[in-house]
Amino acid sequence: MTLLTSMLQRPLDPSYAAAADRREAQGRPRSTSLRSPLLVIATVLIGLLVGVASYTLTTANKPRSQARAELIEQIQDRRSQVDAMTSQATTLQGQLTDLETEQLGNDALANRTRELATAVGAVPLHGPGFTLTLDDAPASGSDDAAEGGQADEGRVLAKDLQYVTNALWESGAEAVSINGKRLTATSAIRFAGSALVVDYRPLTRPYVVTALGDPKRFPAAFADGAGGTYLSTLRSTFGIRVDTEVSDDLTVPAAVGLTTRYARSGDTGDATPSPGTTPSPTAS
Amino acid sequence: MIPAIGLSLGIIIGLLLQPAVPVWLQPYLPIAVIAALDAVFGAVRAILDGIFDDKVFVISFLSNVIVAAFIVFLGDKLGVGAQLSTGVVVVLGVRIFSNVAAIRRHLFDA
């Protein structure tokens, strides 16, 4: 306690008092003048120190925050670009579908095209079905939890969405979309860092899965099947919020970017399967 | 009055010139600033007590800064830099607070 007591009770340098006593003994005033050049130099030095420190310490973080702001700006730019192009692609696809139906005079062919377009997800669909809303557990979702790693349990993972979607297909879903992104045969649900990515587009919470299917059978089949079990486990074990809402008329948008870049259909000539033989899946 | 002018002059010069501080010196800046603040508040209290001495002030300022920087340097070498910095800040902070309390008693009788 001596240390604390002396620190608290006598914080002033004893040398000030000693110097004052010495001067008094010599017959001079106890305090020296405030105009001594030494004092001026010292104060200028201290001011310089404070000024330099404040400048240096505030600018030390500047390049980093600047780069961060630039990156955020870039992300927002690109995101709005993607949004614009997505809507453009949707419009063009709609036009394409219209033109196709116009040109295909043959009813059988037109019907076939329409069926295929419906099946692969080239046209928006609507019908009965239900929406599943998944969200992170209430405690999680903050940045601290994301960086803590250990507290990450309450977050919705790509695995969860994959499982739920597969269970939806399994129990008879005819069309599925996540946060307004139609799932097709080439869709991928992945993790990129801590963000959920569907078809290379990051999603934001909450995750709304819309599935269309037979109103009598489909919701019950899902709830009774593996998907329902999985969701109730998520809810009870990790506190993930799950809401199910059955509806008579839901809309699922058309998929964007249904083109293939390298794979071609067999009719173009140099492809291997000869006309007449049906191409069989070799590896699956 | 003159010390205050000197102080602000120094701050203005520092902000205007913006000298580049070498990277190895940057960790000592916050500690040096706190040590300097301690010396300044001690000086203000001494002025109000009527026992100010310019030599004591200069020496206390220099020794404060040097000792604080040395402790941080030593701590960095020993791998306990953060803890020793905290110790220096705590000690100087307590001194600053009690000096400010004494100044307050002088100025406001409170």
Partners of A210 in the β-ladder: A131, A177
Domain boundaries, chain B: 23-108
* Distance from C-alpha of A267 to C-alpha of A219, rounded to nearest angstrom: 40
For residue A259 the two structure tokens come to 């083109």
Say if residue A78's pLDDT is above 90: yes
Say if residue B52's pLDDT is above 90: no
Residue of chain A whose Cα is closest to the Cα of B62:
A42
How far off is chain B from A65, nearest CA to CA, in Å? Answer: 19
**Residue A272 counted as domain residue:** no
Note whether A152 and A238 are same-domain residues. yes
How far off is chain B from A226, nearest CA to CA, in Å? Answer: 53
Domain span at A42 = 35-87
Q: Is there a contact between A7 and B94 if contact means CB atoms under 8 Å apart?
A: yes
Of all residues in chain B, the percent with pLDDT exceeding 70 is: 99
**Which distant-in-sequence residues (6+ apart) come within 8 Å of A226 by Cβ?**
A163, A167, A170
Residue A32 contacts B where some CB pair is shorter than 8 Å: yes
Q: Which one, of A253, A252, A227, A255, lies nearest residue A242 by Cα?
A: A227
What average pLDDT does this structure show over B15-35? Answer: 84
- Compute CA distances B100 → A18, A191, B57, B93, whole Å: 21, 55, 16, 10
* Predicted pLDDT at A284: 39
Rounded to a whole number of angstroms, the CA Rg of chain B reads 16
| End-to-end Cα separation, chain B, in angstroms | 24
**Residue A188 counted as domain residue:** yes
Q: For the segment B80-107, what is each residue's pLDDT rounded down to a tens digit?
A: 888 888 888 888 888 888 888 888 888 8
For residue B20 the two structure tokens come to 């580049």
Q: For the segment A87-118, what is each residue's pLDDT rounded down to a tens digit?
A: 898 888 888 878 877 777 667 777 787 788 78
Phi and psi angles of residue A133, each rounded to the nearest 5 degrees, phi first: -110, 115
* Predicted pLDDT at B42: 87
Q: Where are the beta strands (DSSP E) in A19-148?
A: 125-135
Q: Is there a contact between A38 and B55 if contact means CB atoms under 8 Å apart?
A: yes
Note whether A132 and A228 are same-domain residues. yes
Q: Is there a contact between B10 and A19 if contact means CB atoms under 8 Å apart?
A: no
* Predicted pLDDT at A1: 63
Q: For the segment A208-220, what is each residue's pLDDT rounded down to a tens digit?
A: 888 888 888 888 8
A258-273 as b/e, with b when 16 or more CB fall inside 10 Å? beeeeeeeeeeeeeee
Q: Is there a contact between B52 and A55 if contact means CB atoms under 8 Å apart?
A: no
Q: Is the peptide bond before A215 cis (omega within 30 degrees of 0)?
A: no
* Distance from C-alpha of A71 to C-alpha of B35, rounded to nearest angstrom: 39
Of all residues in chain A, the percent with pLDDT exceeding 70 is: 82
Q: Is there a contact between B26 and A30 if contact means CB atoms under 8 Å apart?
A: no
Least confident span in A144-148, A227-231, A234-238, B100-104: A144-148
Report the CATH number that the domain containing residue A189 is assigned in CATH: 3.30.70.1880
User: What ipTM score was computed for the predicted complex, to two decimals?
Assistant: 0.84
Chain A residues inside the 8 Å CB shell of B59: 15
Per DSSP, the three-state class of A133 is: strand
How far off is chain B from A19, nearest CA to CA, in Å? Answer: 7
Q: Model confidence at A147, in pLDDT bands (50, 70, 90)?
A: very low
How far off is chain B from A151, nearest CA to CA, in Å? Answer: 27
Mutate to test the interface with B, among A7, A39, A54, A61 (most CBs of B within 10 A): A39
Q: Model confidence at A268, in pLDDT bands (50, 70, 90)?
A: low
* Predicted pLDDT at A74: 94
The number of folded domains in chain A is: 2
* Predicted pLDDT at A84: 93
Residue A12 contacts B where some CB pair is shorter than 8 Å: yes
Chain B residues inside the 8 Å CB shell of A5: none
Q: Model confidence at A8, in pLDDT bands (50, 70, 90)?
A: low
Q: Model confidence at A248, in pLDDT bands (50, 70, 90)?
A: confident
* Distance from C-alpha of A144 to C-alpha of A129, rounded to nearest angstrom: 37
Q: Tell me, letter by letter, the H, E, C secondary structure of B9-61.
A: HHHHHHHHHCCCCCHHHCCHHHHHHHHHHHHHHHHHHHHHHCCCCHHHHHHHH
* Distance from C-alpha of A134 to C-alpha of A235, rounded to nearest angstrom: 10
Q: Is there a contact between A12 and B91 if contact means CB atoms under 8 Å apart?
A: no
**pTM (two decimals):** 0.48
Chain B residues inside the 8 Å CB shell of A38: 54-55, 58
For residue A187 the two structure tokens come to 């869709």
Mean of per-residue pLDDT scores for chain B: 86
Of all residues in chain A, the percent with pLDDT exceeding 90 is: 4
* Distance from C-alpha of B63 to C-alpha of A260, rounded to nearest angstrom: 74
Q: Is there a contact between A20 and B14 if contact means CB atoms under 8 Å apart?
A: no
Between A and B, how many CB-CB pairs are < 8 A? 150
* Distance from C-alpha of A3 to C-alpha of A233, rounded to nearest angstrom: 58
The tokens 């069926």 sit on which residue? Answer: A115
